[in-house]
Amino acid sequence: MDEREPVVLTRPEDLDEATVVARAQDGNLEAFEYLVEAYQGRLFRLAFRMLHDRGDAEDVVQDTLVACWRKLPLLKNVQAFSGWLYQMAINRCLDSLRRRSSQAEVVQESATLQATAGSSTGPGAGGDPAREAEISCEMDGLATALLSLPPEQRACWLLREIHERSYAEIAATLKVSEQTVRGRLARARAQLAEKMSQWQ
Amino acid sequence: MAIDQTIPRLGCGRSIDEAWAAIKEPPTAHENGCVQCRTARASLANLAEATRRLRDNDAEDTSLQPHHVVKDAVMNLARAEVRRGNLLPVYRGDQGGIAMSEQAIISVIWFGADALPGVRARRCRVHPVPDIADGPRPAGTADISVNLRIAVASGTDIPGTAELLRQRIISVITAHVGLNAGTINITVEDFYDV
């Protein structure tokens, strides 16, 4: 090998995530940028379903990723990276809701949901416009019902059902016991199921 | 805030959790005969279906992404606050010296390690070895010590690979940085493919 060939590192997409995280910890910007791209969508979807506001959700994503860059060297276990990121994002969502709670929270009608505007082709609708409309309406109904849950329950439900985190991960993220996670999830499901059946 | 640990129960005494866990199974004799269980099963199954749709929709919905200015702002800040680590004296002569950032040296070490199959170089620290001589010294005689953490593919011959890696690190540091690598400590912290 020519020892003086230019120093070109293996691209982050060809490495395992833990290695990319470790290189970002040591200040490699390319590795960090890869992580930003890998997680910004997930964090946005979590924050948007928590807060129901694009601007607030983007603020949460930006604050979380800035904090991630600054605190990254202190993360001891690279395997815990995604849980650590979710934890910072959820904490910021809960803070944002607490700041809001001084003002009466108005739950917008599902018609103003930007999330599903024009982009949802309901899976399994088979191109039937009436069925697609029904599915879209059902999803809007669930998204709206979600906003009626207490924030901690909503966080539990989103982490489990939309982001598919394990009970142990959710417990660590929210700093509560797994037992508490189970209780919150059960209550969230009971309330959502009841709300959904009202619209049948 | 006091947390209520009770799981909601149906009128027949079953918990919502039990009903939820069983919605994919065929109904039991009790569920067939119990109106509350039948109702709960139907509405939970409905919720499970709506949940699956929302999850699939959100994952594919291109509008559920932050605006690109978010990433731009984050990366601008990261570049402004980039961490270069310590400065290591590389050369001292009569006319002045040359120092190199730890991060630049680490990049060279990663590059050396990346060429080895089955090795993923992770966190790295580089320290100057304290000078013994006081006077000026020619280039290429300073020593640095390297602490490198790596992950390897399972089934890797670790002692053999570590020795190869050590030789690679010595040669890239000599070629690219013009320094002698003194001690090179390698810690295998993980199997990256398990």
3-state helix/strand/coil string of B50-68? HHHHHHHHHHHCCCCCCCH
Work out the minimum CA distance from A121 to partner chain B, whole angstroms: 8
Work out the minimum CA distance from B36 to partner chain A, whole angstroms: 13
Residue B141 pLDDT: 55
Chain A touched by B87 (CB under 8 Å): no
Of B20, B56, B65, the CB nearest to A123: B56
A61: helix, coil or strand? helix
Q: How many residues does chain B have?
A: 194
pLDDT tier at A104, thresholds 50, 70, 90: low
Q: What is the pLDDT along chain B (194 residues), one digit of tens a residue?
A: 444 456 788 878 788 888 888 888 888 888 888 888 888 888 898 899 999 999 999 999 999 999 999 999 999 999 999 999 988 887 777 788 888 899 999 999 999 999 999 999 999 999 888 765 555 555 545 688 999 999 999 999 999 999 999 999 999 998 888 888 788 999 999 999 98
Would the CB atoms of B8 and A187 count as touching at under 8 Å? yes
Residue A26 pLDDT: 95
Q: Which residues of chain B are within 8 Å of residue A135 when distances are taken between CB atoms?
A: 53
**Do residues A18 and B190 touch, judged by C-beta distance below 8 A?**
yes
Tokens of B189: 């912290």
Residue B6 pLDDT: 67
Would the CB atoms of B47 and A193 count as touching at under 8 Å? yes
Distance CA B56, CA A122 (A): 9
Is the pLDDT at A64 greater than 70? The verdict is: yes
Chain B touched by A65 (CB under 8 Å): yes
Four-point Cα dihedral B109, B110, B112, B118, nearest 10 = 140
Residue B42 pLDDT: 86
pLDDT tier at A192, thresholds 50, 70, 90: very high
Closest CA to B12 of B125, B1, B29, B183: B29
A window 124-163, beta carbon within 8 A of B: 135, 138-139, 141-143, 161-162
* Average confidence (pLDDT) over A7-34: 95
Sign, Cα dihedral of A156, A162, A167, A169 = negative
Whole-model pTM?
0.86
Residue A122 pLDDT: 44
Tokens of B69: 């200015």
Q: Put the strands of the sheet holding B119-128 in their side by side order.
A: B119-128, B143-152, B180-191
Is the pLDDT at A106 greater than 70? The verdict is: no
Tokens of B36: 């509350």
**Do residues B175 and B164 touch, judged by C-beta distance below 8 A?**
no
Closest CA to A162 of B146, B55, B20: B55
Residue A103 pLDDT: 60
* Average confidence (pLDDT) over A105-117: 45
Amino acid identity of B33?
G
Of B16, B74, B103, the CB nearest to A190: B16
CB-defined contacts A:B, below 8 A: 183
Average pLDDT, chain A: 86
Distance CA A125, CA A166 (A): 30
Would the CB atoms of A196 and B176 count as touching at under 8 Å? no
Would the CB atoms of A3 and B85 count as touching at under 8 Å? no
Distance CA A49, CA B23 (A): 25
Chain centre to alpha carbon of residue B50: 34
Residue A41 pLDDT: 97
Q: Which residue did the predictor score with more confidence, B72 or A7? A: B72
Helix B35-60 vs helix A178-198: angle between axes, to the nearest 10 degrees?
Answer: 100
Work out the minimum CA distance from A8 to partner chain B, whole angstroms: 6
Of A45, A182, A197, the CB nearest to B7: A182
Residue A109 pLDDT: 42
Neighbour count for residue A181 (Cβ, 10 Å): 25
Tokens of A156: 């539990």
Distance CA B61, CA A155 (A): 20
B window 131-190, beta carbon within 8 A of A: 149, 151, 171-172, 174-176, 190
Tokens of B66: 């932050």
Q: Which residues of chain A are within 8 Å of residue B67 when distances are taken between CB atoms?
A: 58
pLDDT one-digit tens code per residue, A136-173: 888 888 999 999 999 999 999 999 999 999 999 999 99
Would the CB atoms of A186 and B17 count as touching at under 8 Å? yes
Distance CA A3, CA B150 (A): 22
Would the CB atoms of A183 and B121 count as touching at under 8 Å? no
Work out the minimum CA distance from B187 to partner chain A, whole angstroms: 14
Q: Which residue did the predictor score with more confidence, A118 or B48? A: B48
Neighbour count for residue A13 (Cβ, 10 Å): 9
Rounded to whole angstroms, the maximal C-alpha distance in chain B is 95
What chain A residue is nearest to B5 in terms of C-alpha separation? A183
Helix A17-25 vs helix A81-100: angle between axes, to the nearest 10 degrees?
Answer: 70
Sign, Cα dihedral of A43, A15, A3, B180 = positive
